[in-house]
Structure 1
Amino acid sequence: MELLLRDLLARELVCAPHVVARLAARLAADPPSVVEVAERLTPDQRLGRRALPSPLPLTPAVERAFAELELSERDRTLLLAQTLRSGDDLGTLVAFDGRSVRELAASPVGALLVIHAGRVRLSDPRHSVWIQALSTSARTAEVHSRLAGLHAALGDEDAAAWHRARASLTGDPAAARTLVGAARRLLSAGREERALALAREAAAHVSGHRRDGAMLLAGLAAVGAGLAGDAVHDLGSLYPRASARLRGRALGGLLVAQTFVLGAVPDVDPALFRPRSAKGRAAWRDWTRAAGLAALLCAERGDRAPMRLWLDAVREGAAVVGAETDLREPVVALCWLLAGDSEVGDGEGEGPLCGTLLRALRLAARGDIEQGLRLLRDDSPLADLAPDHLVPGLERSPLVRAYRAVAETLLLVWRGDIGAARERLLRAAVELPVALPFAGLGVVLARRLDLAVRGEIGPVAHALTAVLPVGGGVDGLVDRAIEAFLAGAVDAAGAAVELWRDGGAPEPVLGVPGLEEVAVAAQVQRAASGPVTPPDLAVARDLRVRLLAASAGSWPSERDDVRETARTLRSPFARARVELVLGLQHAVRDDHLAARMHLQRAERLFEAAGADAWARAARDRIDRLDTTAAQLVPAPERLSVCRSVWRRRLTARELDVAMLAVRGAGNREIGRELSVSVRTVEVHLGRVFAKLEVRNRVELTALAHRTERHL
């Protein structure tokens, strides 16, 4: 998978990981076939915003693969039938063809089939692309018609209706009714893409209100599948001509889909869609549900003002339909949790979002990460059978499952299990639209986890980044800073952090570990409203800040207090980063024995967390300690790391004076260089000594070299 993604990225054919996984499954993981098909897809299809075409386009690579294949008309018809039907039972295929199983297996087409335990499938899924491309529309309709009759005789009305509709040239309203019912059942079972296909087929055979109903079902299926572009098209087709009832039912899904496409929640007034009559309870519930979804989308993005506006609508609608307990309370609680205040609202609902997700995040934010993980990992057949009043019918959808997968990854990060978190997200990325939940949190996690384990951002994370809409992109400055810091380029890391801070220091509302190791305490203090993190991680972050801010006078007490508090941290990753900063600060103060002890402890903890790149960074710092000071003393004019670190404590003129002093220039020489008086140089130098807590030029020069060596 990574090789395929890397190849596609190199060709500027960016595909969502789960799209590449589906292409690989349907093209026998043949790289040339995958690349050629990807070239023929639209950008929205490659990024997972629209469904893949069915069948996939025939490409030269697939044609070459079967150029020597010769089949009789009967075998071609059987192969086409196997391709067109949705099931895998052998009995139906045998009944269609008329040959016995033994005869079928011995025929030339038998070599193209895998028959086992009463089931049959194609030995190479590319046969499906090949045979459909070579079959005329008349031949395809004929096979569909025969399959329809066969399934009708077997009593399978859903399959019969599908094939009858596909064979029809003039429309089949009766088949459409059956397909709509089948699509609803598939939707509840979590098979959204199949439901989408059936609902769209039904819409092609009817008109008016019945067509609108089928398009509503198709749009909701597209939302659940994460196909935001398809959802906007299908649900948007209901405005303004469909009935008020259908438009009301479509509103929530349309708001979700537009947000995923545009990267921001549509700026609309909830009152514009408020039901006109107080009697229509169903319409009021639809409006309340749509308001709840919009409020959550705003909360994910940290947009508090519109979130409050939509929550007011939730409260109003819930009061009308009596949904305070099952809808209003859990939505309010989840919104405020995502907005940074887990103490607002204690309500809990049922289902995967209003129930499981809310409880898991609340527990983890309050410190009980293990219980939160147990809730999210409960995949038993009895899990989440209760309906979720916020997303009824979509409880098992890929989108809802993606929310749970991203939340589980986040909790593993909070627990300090970096390696396991990355593996969990990689597994989810090839199955689900993980770039959509929580305003792209899955993308941020993928990038940070790659950096922690690999030391660089991998192809899966790069592909996920491209899936985000233009307005919802991630801020890569912190990622750049982490990559530089792990590579030992502290000056580049500090510069990236400063740019990030100048841009407002944007962070996900659900906290993901950043980089405090190169920042000054006063500049990295967290805002009172977020991000949301468990107590353990908040303590670890504060400890790193304290170490960075410690003066020479406060260092002994701060150091000892941080050491004791660090022992209480349960996350191995969080504690390792505190130990790393302790080691670096000891090294700068020329206490190599203590520095080695803390750096070795950091290395072991990083390894336990699965953060291999951070462990290598700790080992690099240890190796620097092991090198003799004479070998490590840099030329004064090359003190780039020292200059970067001091730039955060000194003014621009003080920094120039300090660096010239370290280079050995006297006061008169510094004055001539900077075109200032000797007295001005003396004043600046005195301020430098005070800020850096040294007494003279000798100590200033020694500090410069230690900073360059160990940071």
Structure 2
Amino acid sequence: MEGILEDLLENDLSCAPHVVARIVAEVTADRSSVREVAARLDPAQRAGLRPLPMPLPMVGGIDALYSGLDVDPRDHDLLVAISLRLDDRLDPLLDFDGRTAADIAAGPIGPLIHMHAGRVQLSDPRLAIWLRATTSTTSAARVHRRLHRVFHRRGERVDADWHRARASTGLDPTTANELTRIAREHSEAGLSERAFHLAAEAAAHTVGTDRDEATLVAGVAAIAAGYAVEAARRLAGLFPGGEERYRLQGLGGLFVAQAHLRGAVPEVDLDALRPRGDDPEHWYSWARAAAFAAVLCAERGDRLGMRSWLEALREGTARTGAEHELRDPVVALAWLVLGDHDVDDVRGAGPLTGGMLQALHAAIDGDVDHGLRILAVGDSGIGVEVDPFVAGFEASPLVGAYRAVVEVLLLMWRGDMGAARDRMIRASLELPVAIPFAGLGVVIARRLDLAVLGRLGPFARSLTAALPAPVRIDQLVDRGIEAFLDGASEEAASCMRVWRDRGAPQTTLSVPGLEEAIVVTEPALRHRHRIEPPEIALAQQLRLRITGCSDEDWRMERDRVVAETRTLTSPFSRGRVEAMIGTRSLIRGDVELGREHLATAVKLLELSGADAWARAVEVRLRRLGTQERPTVVVGDPLASCRRVWRSVLTAREFDVAMLVVEGASNRDIADSLHVSVRTVEVHLGRVFAKLEVRTRVELTVLAHRIGQYV
């Protein structure tokens, strides 16, 4: 799959991984065929924001496979019927054809189909594409009519109505209501795409209120599958003239779709959208829409918008008596996502306000394993509960994507970077993981690729390309990490300085950054709201203490930092801190101690699966093993020294120190800085005290040692 994704990226045809998985399932994994199909899709389809066409487009490679196929009309109709039916049961197809399974298997088309355990499929999924592309509309309608009669005789109304609708060339209202009803059932069962197609077919065959209902079901099924463009188009069609109850039921789904496409929850006139009467059902739908809007605002850091929608939620639930089941857990979820550590541990029910919220609470209380167990129980199907927040969509792909992103996040917090990346890849092949938490899944996928590979792989790049343009994820930290792991520490520091100057944008749900490259000491940045387990916060504090304290303070702090580092259970967090302790020890000339900490870091980082971080630390260890040979520093040998000393010296002390390292005398420095020699001597004395050196020679050696090891 990686090779296919890479090929599509190279040909400017990037697709979301779950879209590629679908194409591969229907076309096989031949790269040229997948590329041909992708070229026939529009950008929204490639990004997973619109459904793929049914069937997939005919391309040259598929046509070449079957252009010589010559079968009699009876066999051809049977093959077409297999490609058109809603499921793969064998009995209805035998009723359609009139022959036994043995007779069909022994006939000319036997090699083209696979029959087993009462099921029948085409042996090659590409044949379905060829059949439906080369069969005339008239012939396809005739087969649909025959299938309608078969299912009607069998008393299977859904299939009968589906094929009757597909055979019709005009409106056929008699089929619409049943298709809409079954679409709702399919949606609740998690079959969002099939629900969408059934409801869309129903909407095409009716008018008025029935059309509004079918449009609603099609729209909410679309967003449940991750089809934000399709959902926005369908649900927007209910405004302003649609039936009020259907407008209100579709409002939450419309908010989800538009927030993903626009990067923000749309600003709307709440008074214009509120229910006009006192119908409790309408007010409950309004409350659910407000709940969606509040959580979406929280995901995007919009505190003012979140508060406004929470007020609307309180109004709606007060009118319906749903304060406990809907309001309280949604309020808790919204505040938690926004970054409030002090929210009440309110537990709702079902996959999001129940399991996901409880798992996050367990993790930030320090028990990540408990959080993962909570998610595992929910995914097992044991004790499945209705979640009032997403009622009817508990099994949908979108809800599954939220839970998968949280599971990967918890694995990262536990320090299992390799396992987290594997889980993210599996999830991205099945679910729309780019939508939850304002694109957090994409940020996580990128950081995991960097930790494991040292570069962005095709999965992360494909997910990034699938994001709508207005969705912003900050990529400066990613560039900094990649440069740092590649040994370009000054480039990494430059990226992080720009990131800091831009306000240090970061997700509220904590993902690994690059604290090694720059000291962020501003209180506003240090105390930004972050949701993370206590030991992730401890590791961050330790990194700040290692990089931010002076050499004099480090002499007193080192033993305490080492002792606290040993309490970290995450191999990734501890490995990074051990590497920083080792580097600081090397800079001070304690080579054996530095070697010990670096070796520990390598083992821990390898254990976590963060292979790229482990390789970066191994480079330093190998350098220690060849110290008898001079280390050649490419570029500015003092670049790293400048970066480190700027964090512990004043601007004037820094200028004096660097001029000393460059060989200038006190008189030369005084003339250069337009100060007295006595002032230079005072500044130099402070530099010696802070960096714990006694002579100009020791200062120069220290500067070059920093360049060698940092």
TM-score (norm 2): 0.96
Q: Which residue of 2 aligns with 1:539?
A: 538
CA positional deviation for 1:6: 0.4
CA positional deviation for 1:285: 0.7
Q: Which residue of 2 aligns with 1:500?
A: 499
Residue 329, structure 1, aligned to residue 328, structure 2: yes
Q: Which residue of 2 aligns with 1:124?
A: 124
Residue 256, structure 1, aligned to residue 256, structure 2: yes
Q: Deviations over 1:119-163 (max 9, x none)?
A: 111111111111111110000000011111111111211011100
CA positional deviation for 1:544: 1.1
Q: Which residue of 2 aligns with 1:448?
A: 447
2:402 match: secondary structure: helix
Q: Is the 8 A contact 1:443 1:461 kept in 2?
A: yes
The separation in 1 between residues aligned to 2:446 and 2:634, in whole angstroms, is: 36
Q: Is the 8 A contact 2:645 2:654 kept in 1?
A: yes
Q: Is the 8 A contact 2:192 2:221 kept in 1?
A: yes
Fraction of identical pairs, as percent = 52
Q: Which residue of 2 aligns with 1:478?
A: 477
Give the 3 Å change call, closer, same or farther, for CA 568–269 of structure 1 in structure 2.
farther
Give the 3 Å change call, closer, same or farther, for CA 592–269 of structure 1 in structure 2.
farther
Q: Is the 8 A contact 1:633 1:705 kept in 2?
A: no
CA positional deviation for 1:681: 5.8
Residue 32, structure 1, aligned to residue 32, structure 2: yes
1:632 match: secondary structure: coil
Q: Is the 8 A contact 2:637 2:704 kept in 1?
A: no
The separation in 1 between residues aligned to 2:634 and 2:198, in whole angstroms, is: 72
1:390 match: secondary structure: helix
Q: Is the 8 A contact 1:491 1:645 kept in 2?
A: no
Q: Superposed, which structure 2 residues align to 1:247-646 within 5 Å? A: 247-277=247-277, 279-379=278-378, 382-383=381-382, 385-520=384-519, 522-523=521-522, 526-628=525-627, 631-632=630-631, 634=633, 638-646=637-645
Residue 147, structure 1, aligned to residue 147, structure 2: yes
Q: Which one is further off, 564-573 or 216-225?
A: 564-573
Q: Is the 8 A contact 1:416 1:572 kept in 2?
A: yes
The separation in 2 between residues aligned to 1:59 and 1:619, in whole angstroms, is: 49
Residue identity in the other structure for 1:568: T
1:33 match: secondary structure: helix
Q: Which one is further off, 217-226 or 568-577?
A: 568-577
Q: Deviations over 1:435-469 (max 9, x none)?
A: 10011111111001111111111011011112222
Q: Which residue of 1 aligns with 2:160?
A: 160
The separation in 2 between residues aligned to 1:442 and 1:642, in whole angstroms, is: 36
The separation in 1 between residues aligned to 2:228 and 2:312, in whole angstroms, is: 24
Q: Superposed, which structure 2 residues align to 1:65-144 within 5 Å? A: 65-144=65-144
Give the 3 Å change call, closer, same or farther, for CA 175–521 of structure 1 in structure 2.
closer
Residue identity in the other structure for 2:14: V
Q: Is the 8 A contact 2:551 2:690 kept in 1?
A: no
Q: Is the 8 A contact 1:446 1:461 kept in 2?
A: yes
Residue identity in the other structure for 2:91: G
Q: Which residue of 2 aligns with 1:42?
A: 42
1:554 match: secondary structure: helix
Q: Which one is further off, 569-578 or 342-351?
A: 342-351
Q: Is the 8 A contact 2:62 2:130 kept in 1?
A: yes
Q: Which one is further off, 254-263 or 556-565?
A: 556-565
The separation in 1 between residues aligned to 2:243 and 2:565, in whole angstroms, is: 62
Q: Which residue of 1 aligns with 2:222?
A: 222
Q: Deviations over 1:601-649 (max 9, x none)?
A: 1111111111111111121111122221551275996333223333444
Q: Is the 8 A contact 2:165 2:175 kept in 1?
A: yes
CA positional deviation for 1:541: 0.9
1:344 match: secondary structure: coil
The separation in 2 between residues aligned to 1:53 and 1:635, in whole angstroms, is: 54
Point out where structure 1 has 5 or more consecutive residues left out of the alignment.
Answer: none
Give the 3 Å change call, closer, same or farther, for CA 566–638 of structure 1 in structure 2.
closer
The separation in 2 between residues aligned to 1:48 and 1:382, in whole angstroms, is: 26
Residue 663, structure 1, aligned to residue 662, structure 2: yes
The separation in 2 between residues aligned to 1:272 and 1:689, in whole angstroms, is: 69
The separation in 2 between residues aligned to 1:633 and 1:50, in whole angstroms, is: 54
Q: Which one is further off, 116-125 or 192-201?
A: 116-125
Q: Is the 8 A contact 1:384 1:395 kept in 2?
A: no
CA positional deviation for 1:303: 1.4
The separation in 2 between residues aligned to 1:676 and 1:357, in whole angstroms, is: 62
CA positional deviation for 1:70: 2.7
2:470 match: secondary structure: helix
Q: Deviations over 1:166-214 (max 9, x none)?
A: 0012322111111011101101100011000000100111101111110
Residue 202, structure 1, aligned to residue 197, structure 2: no
The separation in 2 between residues aligned to 1:382 and 1:470, in whole angstroms, is: 36
The separation in 2 between residues aligned to 1:160 and 1:212, in whole angstroms, is: 23
Give the 3 Å change call, closer, same or farther, for CA 637–130 of structure 1 in structure 2.
closer
CA positional deviation for 1:529: 4.7
Q: Deviations over 1:499-545 (max 9, x none)?
A: 11111101111001111112225258754352100001111111111
Q: Which residue of 1 aligns with 2:19?
A: 19
Q: Which one is further off, 114-123 or 430-439?
A: 114-123
The separation in 1 between residues aligned to 2:272 and 2:314, in whole angstroms, is: 16
The separation in 1 between residues aligned to 2:390 and 2:543, in whole angstroms, is: 41
The separation in 2 between residues aligned to 1:338 and 1:637, in whole angstroms, is: 43
CA positional deviation for 1:680: 7.0
Q: Deviations over 1:339-397 (max 9, x none)?
A: 22232233221111111111111111111111110111125664363211111111100
Number of equivalences: 710
2:69 match: secondary structure: coil
Residue identity in the other structure for 1:295: A
CA positional deviation for 1:73: 2.4
The separation in 2 between residues aligned to 1:637 and 1:473, in whole angstroms, is: 34
CA positional deviation for 1:221: 0.4
The RMSD of aligned alpha carbons is 2.1
Residue identity in the other structure for 2:693: V
Give the 3 Å change call, closer, same or farther, for CA 634–574 of structure 1 in structure 2.
closer
The separation in 2 between residues aligned to 1:487 and 1:384, in whole angstroms, is: 48
CA positional deviation for 1:564: 1.2
Point out where structure 2 has 5 or more consecutive residues left out of the alignment.
Answer: none
Give the 3 Å change call, closer, same or farther, for CA 309–529 of structure 1 in structure 2.
farther
1:472 match: secondary structure: coil
Q: Is the 8 A contact 2:378 2:384 kept in 1?
A: no
Q: Which one is further off, 587-596 or 515-524?
A: 515-524
Q: Is the 8 A contact 1:494 1:519 kept in 2?
A: yes
Q: Which residue of 2 aligns with 1:4?
A: 4
Give the 3 Å change call, closer, same or farther, for CA 366–611 of structure 1 in structure 2.
same
Q: Deviations over 1:544-570 (max 9, x none)?
A: 111112222222331111111112111
Q: Is the 8 A contact 1:447 1:457 kept in 2?
A: yes
Q: Is the 8 A contact 1:583 1:595 kept in 2?
A: yes
Residue identity in the other structure for 1:510: L
CA positional deviation for 1:83: 0.4
Give the 3 Å change call, closer, same or farther, for CA 206–709 of structure 1 in structure 2.
same
The separation in 1 between residues aligned to 2:107 and 2:676, in whole angstroms, is: 99
Q: Which residue of 2 aligns with 1:170?
A: 170
Q: Deviations over 1:5-58 (max 9, x none)?
A: 101111111211111111111111221111111111111111011111112211
The separation in 2 between residues aligned to 1:674 and 1:83, in whole angstroms, is: 83
CA positional deviation for 1:676: 7.7
TM-score (norm 1): 0.96
CA positional deviation for 1:274: 2.0
Give the 3 Å change call, closer, same or farther, for CA 36–675 of structure 1 in structure 2.
farther
CA positional deviation for 1:656: 5.4
CA positional deviation for 1:655: 4.9
CA positional deviation for 1:683: 6.3
